[in-house]
């Protein structure tokens, strides 16, 4: 078996020869949207410049460009054997990326619950099929720093239930419950260090039935005073904190003033747990847009108690369904309407099977190299 560095290197060499030019040829397949592009760029302005012909051609296809990208890369294989392949997969950085949506992790399987043994198996399944986790923020930044041949997967956990993150108190010390999602994740990370601590938690600070930063009032054994500690722990470990409103209001049913308050107070609560934390991702409760859709992306609210103006502005808005997402390098990628895959029953297995030919497969070229080469003119 080759070391991880080798496939990435080979892919780069093969690519350069495929373009029939010097190393500058690599920029021909540089993603349309790189780290050099502002992550909050509007979808309409994310069309690649003319200096990126491959991406531009792919962008001409109005839909399903993940499929198109695979086909075009495969056709490159037939004319000069200069296509990129790594770990047995055709490199495809315009392919699809699943953003998985989890709710409860518990004792049995259900529409909104994944049995915890099954959750462990899902991590293993993804790992073995060459997926590695990234956060939503990394997705929208195009920061997909994976070895050649591997694919990104985004985990999102909604509603901040104790089943996602609970503590056990032993001899006066707090331990992460190994049966909560965070405990399972940390154990998997310890056994597989290249499975990073990368997931996005869409939090509710003030919902009913213990949905308040992973539990309060003794619900499911979780003490109110542990809440902030949990949120801080996640941030310190590198997980992403995402806002899911104050108490999960259906934003379609409320006037703008309530929408602003619901969203701003979610941010405010995260800030009170992790001072200065920049919340970049917002998840729509129930997938429902406010009547004034722009308020899901940016807005402000004045706290009547303190007189303080709370301003929010997101780089990503998560919906609740819609299938695997486009690549951030696809000109049609829209960070403000990110679709997700709800995980229940066999949905994950089905989705992975469907993605087999259209999935994003990394080239192994570091994001920094991409940003540099993207600025060079293409020699075609
Ligand atoms: Zn929710």
Q: What spacing in Å lies between the alpha carbon of 158 and ligand 1's midpoint?
A: 5
- The verdict on 186 and 263 lying in the same domain is yes
Q: What spacing in Å lies between the alpha carbon of 128 and ligand 1's midpoint?
A: 29
Looking at residue 233, what is its pLDDT? 98
Tokens of 318: 């998560």
- The verdict on 87 and 46 lying in the same domain is yes
The average confidence (pLDDT) of the chain is 80
- The verdict on 72 and 111 lying in the same domain is no
Q: What spacing in Å lies between the alpha carbon of 310 and ligand 1's midpoint?
A: 22
Q: What spacing in Å lies between the alpha carbon of 61 and ligand 1's midpoint?
A: 34
Question: Which residues, 6+ apart, have CB-to-CB distance to 138 below 8 Å?
Answer: 144, 198
Confidence bin at 87 (pLDDT 50/70/90): confident
Q: What spacing in Å lies between the alpha carbon of 119 and ligand 1's midpoint?
A: 19
Q: What spacing in Å lies between the alpha carbon of 298 and ligand 1's midpoint?
A: 19
The whole-model pTM stands at 0.78
Q: What spacing in Å lies between the alpha carbon of 244 and ligand 1's midpoint?
A: 7
Q: What spacing in Å lies between the alpha carbon of 91 and ligand 1's midpoint?
A: 34
Alpha helices in 274-360 (DSSP H): 347-355
Comparing 372 with 118, the larger pLDDT belongs to: 118
Q: What spacing in Å lies between the alpha carbon of 283 and ligand 1's midpoint?
A: 8
Comparing 69 with 275, the larger pLDDT belongs to: 275
List, for residues 174-191, the tens digit of each pLDDT value. 999 999 999 999 999 999
- The verdict on 174 and 139 lying in the same domain is yes
Phi-psi region of 210 (alpha: psi -120 to 50; beta: other; left: phi over 0): left
Comparing 365 with 244, the larger pLDDT belongs to: 244
Q: What percent of the chain has pLDDT over 90?
A: 68
Q: What spacing in Å lies between the alpha carbon of 1 and ligand 1's midpoint?
A: 43
Q: What spacing in Å lies between the alpha carbon of 264 and ligand 1's midpoint?
A: 16
- The verdict on 86 and 186 lying in the same domain is no
pLDDT at 202 exceeding the cut of 70: yes
Q: What spacing in Å lies between the alpha carbon of 305 and ligand 1's midpoint?
A: 27
- The verdict on 149 and 56 lying in the same domain is no
List, for residues 129-158, the tens digit of each pLDDT value. 999 999 999 999 999 999 999 999 999 999
What element of type H or E holds 241?
strand 240-243
Q: What spacing in Å lies between the alpha carbon of 284 and ligand 1's midpoint?
A: 7
The span from the CA of 186 to the CA of 290, in Å, is 36
Residues spanned by the domain of 165:
99-355
Q: What spacing in Å lies between the alpha carbon of 365 and ligand 1's midpoint?
A: 36
Q: What spacing in Å lies between the alpha carbon of 341 and ligand 1's midpoint?
A: 14
Average pLDDT over every residue of 171-175: 93
380 in a structural domain: no
List, for residues 321-338, the tens digit of each pLDDT value. 999 999 999 999 999 999
Looking at residue 107, what is its pLDDT? 95
Q: Which residues pair with 155 in a beta bridge?
A: 100
- The verdict on 48 and 144 lying in the same domain is no
pLDDT at 197 exceeding the cut of 50: yes
44 in a structural domain: yes
177 in a structural domain: yes
Q: What spacing in Å lies between the alpha carbon of 2 and ligand 1's midpoint?
A: 43
68 in a structural domain: yes
Name the packing angle between helices 227-237 and 256-273 (round to 10°): 80
* 8-state DSSP, 325: B
Looking at residue 207, what is its pLDDT? 83
Confidence bin at 209 (pLDDT 50/70/90): confident
All residues with CB under 5 Å from ion ligand 1: 158-159
Q: What spacing in Å lies between the alpha carbon of 361 and ligand 1's midpoint?
A: 30
- The verdict on 60 and 104 lying in the same domain is no
How many domains does the structure of the chain reveal? 2
- The verdict on 277 and 299 lying in the same domain is yes
Looking at residue 370, what is its pLDDT? 54
- In terms of Cα–Cα distance, which of 67, 84, 78 is closest to 30? 84
Residue 286: give its domain's CATH number.
3.20.20.370
Confidence bin at 210 (pLDDT 50/70/90): confident
Q: What spacing in Å lies between the alpha carbon of 204 and ligand 1's midpoint?
A: 8
- The verdict on 71 and 145 lying in the same domain is no
- In terms of Cα–Cα distance, which of 59, 66, 57 is closest to 45? 59
Q: What spacing in Å lies between the alpha carbon of 248 and ligand 1's midpoint?
A: 6
Comparing 342 with 14, the larger pLDDT belongs to: 342
Looking at residue 155, what is its pLDDT? 98
Average pLDDT over every residue of 302-315: 94
29 in a structural domain: yes
Comparing 38 with 253, the larger pLDDT belongs to: 253
- The verdict on 212 and 305 lying in the same domain is yes
Comparing 207 with 173, the larger pLDDT belongs to: 173
Q: What spacing in Å lies between the alpha carbon of 101 and ligand 1's midpoint?
A: 10
Q: What spacing in Å lies between the alpha carbon of 186 and ligand 1's midpoint?
A: 23
pLDDT at 65 exceeding the cut of 80: no
Q: What spacing in Å lies between the alpha carbon of 217 and ligand 1's midpoint?
A: 20
Q: What spacing in Å lies between the alpha carbon of 103 and ligand 1's midpoint?
A: 8
Q: What spacing in Å lies between the alpha carbon of 354 and ligand 1's midpoint?
A: 26
Q: What spacing in Å lies between the alpha carbon of 139 and ligand 1's midpoint?
A: 21
Q: What are phi and psi of 101, to 5 degrees?
A: -120, 115
379 in a structural domain: no
The span from the CA of 377 to the CA of 28, in Å, is 9
Looking at residue 85, what is its pLDDT? 85
Looking at residue 265, what is its pLDDT? 96
- The verdict on 334 and 367 lying in the same domain is no
């Amino acid at each position: 078996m080759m070391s991880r560095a080798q496939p990435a290197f080979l892919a780069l060499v093969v690519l350069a020869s495929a373009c029939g030019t010097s190393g500058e040829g690599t920029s021909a397949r540089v993603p349309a949207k790189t780290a050099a592009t502002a992550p909050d760029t509007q979808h309409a302005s994310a069309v690649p410049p003319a200096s990126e012909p491959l991406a531009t051609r792919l962008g001409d296809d109005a839909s399903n460009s993940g499929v198109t990208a695979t086909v075009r890369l495969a056709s490159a294989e037939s004319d000069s054997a200069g296509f990129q392949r790594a770990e047995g997969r055709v490199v495809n950085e315009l392919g699809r990326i699943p953003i998985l949506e989890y709710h409860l992790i518990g004792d049995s399987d259900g529409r909104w619950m994944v049995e915890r043994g099954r959750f462990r198996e899902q991590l293993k399944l993804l790992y073995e099929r060459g997926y590695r986790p990234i956060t939503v923020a990394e997705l929208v930044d195009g920061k997909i720093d994976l070895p050649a041949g591997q694919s990104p997967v985004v985990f999102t956990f909604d509603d901040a239930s104790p089943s996602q993150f609970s503590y056990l108190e032993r001899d006066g010390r707090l331990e992460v419950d190994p049966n909560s999602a965070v405990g399972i994740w940390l154990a998997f990370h310890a056994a597989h260090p290249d499975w990073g601590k990368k997931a996005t938690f869409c939090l509710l600070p003030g919902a009913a039935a213990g949905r308040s930063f992973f539990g309060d009032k003794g619900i499911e054994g979780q003490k109110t005073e542990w809440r902030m500690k949990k949120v801080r722990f996640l941030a310190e470990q590198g997980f992403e904190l995402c806002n899911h409103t104050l108490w999960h209001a259906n934003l379609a049913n409320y006037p703008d003033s309530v929408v602003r308050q619901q969203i701003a107070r979610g941010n405010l609560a995260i800030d009170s747990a992790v001072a200065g934390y920049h919340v970049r991702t917002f998840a729509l409760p129930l997938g429902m847009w406010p009547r004034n859709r722009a308020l899901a992306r940016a807005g402000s609210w004045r706290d009547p108690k303190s007189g303080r103006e709370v301003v929010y502005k997101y780089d990503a808005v998560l919906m609740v369904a819609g299938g695997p997402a486009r690549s951030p390098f696809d000109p049609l990628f829209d960070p403000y309407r990110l679709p997700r895959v709800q995980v229940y029953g066999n949905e994950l297995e089905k989705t992975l099977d469907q993605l087999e030919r259209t999935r994003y497969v990394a080239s192994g070229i570091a994001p920094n190299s991409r940003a540099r080469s993207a600025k060079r003119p293409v020699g075609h």
